[in-house]
Structures are given as C-alpha cells and as structure tokens.
C-alpha cells in the first residue's frame, strides 16, 4: 500500500474514469488487503480507467472527509463515479462479490485470483 493519497491512472481515451475512495486505518492487515484486492480487480476490469483515492484516517485532516462521506467502519470503499454511488464495507476479500457489487464486469469474466 502506498503512502500517497491518490493512485491515479490515465482515464483512457473516452475519459470515463471510475473514481473510488478507500477509507483505511494505516497499515492494518484489513486495510492492506482491501487496497490490494481493489487494485487487482481494477487492473483486471478497468485497466487505465480508474482512480483510487486512499484516505488514511490515521493521518491528520482526514477525519473531516470520513464525516462528509459518513464512514462508520473501516475499510470502506465508496464508488463516486460512475453513478450511482456505491459503498462496500470490509476487507474486500471476496473478489467475486467485489466485482458484482461494483458492477465491474460480466459474470462470464472471472475476477483475478490472488497471488
């Protein structure tokens, strides 16, 4: 997991980038797992078309953002684009469910397997 606040990739030629906010608590095992699983799914289904904003609630100034998005548990993932907004709470360890909940791909395409 990077210490940077934003993991930004090219939005692609059509400009339809997915915007995701992942609220975590430092380098906790669940936070690290959630970030790794989210990156894996995005790389597989949205290569070059996503932006992950990593919001570390242990860092100064991040509590206001958590309050704005009404985050009550961590890790929490919020898809802000495309509409409608979606929210998933937990380590995102079930990649099949993550793909389904975010509507990333068709059921015919299986999610990447953890390495």
Tell me, what CATH number does 59's domain have?
Answer: 3.40.30.10
Average pLDDT over residues 20-30: 93
- The total number of structural domains in the chain stands at 1
Structural domain includes residue 107: no
Checking if the pLDDT of 13 tops 50, the result is no
Residue 8, both tokens: 């930004």
Q: Which domain holds residue 88?
A: 6-101
- Which residues are CB-contacts of 48 (< 8 A; sequence separation ≥ 6)? 9, 10, 11, 12
Checking if the pLDDT of 2 tops 80, the result is no
Q: How far apart are CA 29 and CA 15, in angstroms?
A: 33
Structural domain includes residue 79: yes
Segment 31-70, tens digit of pLDDT: 999 999 999 999 999 999 999 999 999 998 888 888 999 9
Structural domain includes residue 77: yes
Structural domain includes residue 113: no
Average pLDDT over residues 24-32: 92
What pLDDT score was predicted for residue 16? Answer: 79
Structural domain includes residue 115: no
What pLDDT score was predicted for residue 112? Answer: 58
- Indicate the burial class of 92 (C-beta count within 10 angstroms; 0-12, 13-18, 19 or more): buried
């Amino acid at each position: 997991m990077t210490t940077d606040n934003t993991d930004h990739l090219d939005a692609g030629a059509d400009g339809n980038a997915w915007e995701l906010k992942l609220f975590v608590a430092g380098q906790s095992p669940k936070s690290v797992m959630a970030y790794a699983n989210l990156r894996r799914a995005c790389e597989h289904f949205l290569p070059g078309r996503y932006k992950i904003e990593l919001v570390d609630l242990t860092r100064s100034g991040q509590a206001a953002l958590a309050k704005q998005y009404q985050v009550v548990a961590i890790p929490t993932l919020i898809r802000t684009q495309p509409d409608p907004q979606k929210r998933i709470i937990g380590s995102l360890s079930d990649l099949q469910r993550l793909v389904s909940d975010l509507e990333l791909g068709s059921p015919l395409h299986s999610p990447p397997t953890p390495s």
